[in-house]
Structure 1
């Protein structure tokens, strides 16, 4: 793939079906430059001379390099003076070159190494007196103490300070990033469709209902195969596509894992799915009823559906996350179902499936256009089932809109037997 291909301009690789463009999942180098420049502006305003981060998500965000994290450090150094250096083990150098990593590559032989890995970085960017007037280096708050100590030991005189500058910079997505999220939403909707189709096919054939595990395997396979068929350079992250599938009483556990339980007539069941395109995640969750819903099932589902609709309308620029959360969850409280709440309304989504800001009572972050958050109120009735509906929402100039589009109401989500 050309390094100048953007996420909004499909290319047609040699192996693509004739006349069918493939979706490009890699951000163009000028887009990565803009992401770096936004962070550099924040860094300078905060008085830092450099930022050091070893978070795999931050590395991908700033340089476009996706890797399998392990004990070998991979880190980005972004200097106020314009320097951008990617520290990699030598075994990753060619991989970084192949992905057109937007930084100067500096490698070290091995870990733990005769020479410490961060020494290669310090030898390239210099001591505190060489890389800035104050020697202030911000490091990501996710950096382990072991990594912090290893880095600090190699920069004489530097003042290392924890900072969330990179995390906050990632809150607001560029249009090119939103294009990737939108494509992930399209595939998530296809996965939801495929899960329902598998169940309907079983009903029509008179065969056994699928198990939770079989459903999870099926929808994940649909997501992954769609990407490899329609995308010209699949960025592999974990998870690439899939999610949680649970039915009946199992769904009363908010993050329960799929089991061998087979769906039964009358079950409430949940497809909690998502995928990542270009490393950018989306989630889409729907709650279904297998057969004619009972009065209780309708009451529970309708309450969550109303909370999700009102909560979605509350997601607007200039509103505090905690206020949106309160508006959404109050609907469930007013319905007399507050005792079944187990979690907040939602969370930020980006290069992580769960990342800040949080739609929760303790987060006063103001929403801004370009942010993407989940809107996923849920209730969980022990011994019966859980009910949760989720869309990934992008904040717009005058409100918000869902990226995922699969129907939400019981008129579609009740499956006839």
Structure 2
């Protein structure tokens, strides 16, 4: 399964996201075709390599013969729905603009149907969103992650008048994501980029991956005032399956910490490289109820995860010992259901399929965009996988599921 990890080093904008994928090997013609399918032939698309500091990056620019001054959400949704695009691309584009409209509605105290999308409903914003999702689909990227997003300061003038930087809609869209306020007197992250990130990205670093390609997208500004190159980097790769002969299991009994601290410690341990982390209920030596914090780690991550135990919790020590484990081979496929495409994870022993499961984040997004229950998407995904010959006991193969749809 292909993973994309986006790092907004000098900022994040829709054209920077597209540029990074093109620089990583994406097909320019996919972007052109998708944008013209939505906005018609009056679009010119320019791609060039530029320098941003010491880094060569891909600069993308759209030019339009005519522009519409303002649109509402239903207008943008109509353009997307009427275009000849893959269903997954349509769903993601529609969700991105719905996120934008919801953010604007909260900021301005309006109903979503009354929100006017000024800059965010303009041709260049539509082109950025459609171009990005079309290219990501063509490159078969299944999992998206995003690093810390930078915010500048100051003011910008838009259709609503003067607004602070970062724009209020951008802040709304990136709730739950890590951000950093930096001393740059301008907008570093646009609402368009924020809506794309909100729609598909997970707000943390990716799992261990095998790096395959790297790309840099360039922003308009040649250099930030702090000297940070105005680029956004994408790292593409595949999930790394641990082949180590042994791992380490770490444990600590804790009876004097808040549950919130322990929950944070689990998340932090995973972030620092633990293969798995969890909490078990236990009793302390004085009969007090407590918790046992546990983690499985590789040798390379052992020091970092041990530091999490000691720094983030109230424990005074950590137990650890070497363990062995058996791991199934696995691969990921995307199957088509009546609601849209969903990712299925397949575990096998090299000969037979032993486990089939629907990938949670993929199912959650599809359930949200389709307005159905998560359970319905999971059942449809398993049914579509079975129809494709992917079920427990089946011989191992990675089928072409392009023509298969769930019932």
TM-score by length of 2: 0.28
Q: Higher relative contact order at CA 8 Å, sep ≥6: structure 1 or structure 2?
A: 2
TM-score (norm 1): 0.28
Higher strand share: 2
